[in-house]
Amino acid sequence: MAEIRTVRVMENILKTNDYVARRLREAWDQSRTYVVNLISAPGAGKTTLLETTLPVLMGRYRIGVLEGDIETERDADRIRALGVEAVQVTTGGTCHLEASMVEQAWRLMDTELDFLFIENVGNLVCPASFDLGEHLRVVLLSVSEGDDKPAKYPKAFRTAQVLVITKADLLEVMDFSVERARQGALEIQPELQVFVVSAKTGAGIPAWTQFLEQRRRQTFPEA
């Protein structure tokens, strides 16, 4: 009986989350705010990718960032140092962001935005189950993690539309096959767009930022 109650509680949590996520998506569609949810294991380079991505987009778009972490505002401070508005969502132990957390944090932001980036809590398990109302879900996989992550954490890759392989500057010294990682991910989600980037050298960043701009234009065609 305990197991049945646990399942039902989880179902209720997800149903409530999905309701809030739909409300958020409707609000973002109305304001033409394109929302990108970044998920990964800890240390895969989400904040560093943002530090490389945002300066490319800042001149043409209004941008905000919601930073999800169990504790501290360190990542939000790194984003603010770029001149980008960032709101920290400190979960206090919860291993993922939920739509209600995102809604409360987003309401604290002052400006209407063209792009909103959500950096989820570092975790490849729980964040995959929670819709945040985003238009694009991006899973990051760093070269330092190993190319077998898609097989080990399939839901994270199945629910994403984009895979960004990060820290490509380490390929020469790490036992990591881009092709194995790519094929493993595509077997789970054949529609994935795959980018290989290095925030350190800038490799792959132009293609990645151009893709983001293209996806926003497709979602919100100019009147």
Report the alpha-carbon distance of residue 18 to residue 37 in Å, rounded: 15
pLDDT-based confidence at residue 223 (cuts at 50, 70, 90): very low
Helix spans in 32-148 (H): 46-57, 74-80, 99-106
pLDDT given for residue 167 in this prediction: 97
For 175-199, the pLDDT digits (tens) are 999 999 999 999 999 999 999 999 9
For 134-174, the pLDDT digits (tens) are 999 999 999 999 999 999 999 999 999 999 999 999 999 99
Please provide residue 70's backbone torsions phi and psi, each rounded to the nearest 5 degrees. -70, -40
User: pTM for the complete prediction?
Assistant: 0.92
For 62-104, the pLDDT digits (tens) are 999 999 987 778 999 999 999 999 999 987 767 889 999 999 9
- The pairs formed by 109-113 with CB atoms below 8 angstroms and a separation of 24 or more are 109/64, 109/85, 110/85, 111/62, 111/64, 111/85, 112/31, 112/33, 112/62, 113/31, 113/33, 113/62, 113/63, 113/64
Domains, the chain, in order of start with CATH, read 2-218 (3.40.50.300)
Q: How far apart are the first and last CA of the chain?
A: 55
Q: To the nearest whole percent, how much of the chain has pLDDT over 90?
A: 82
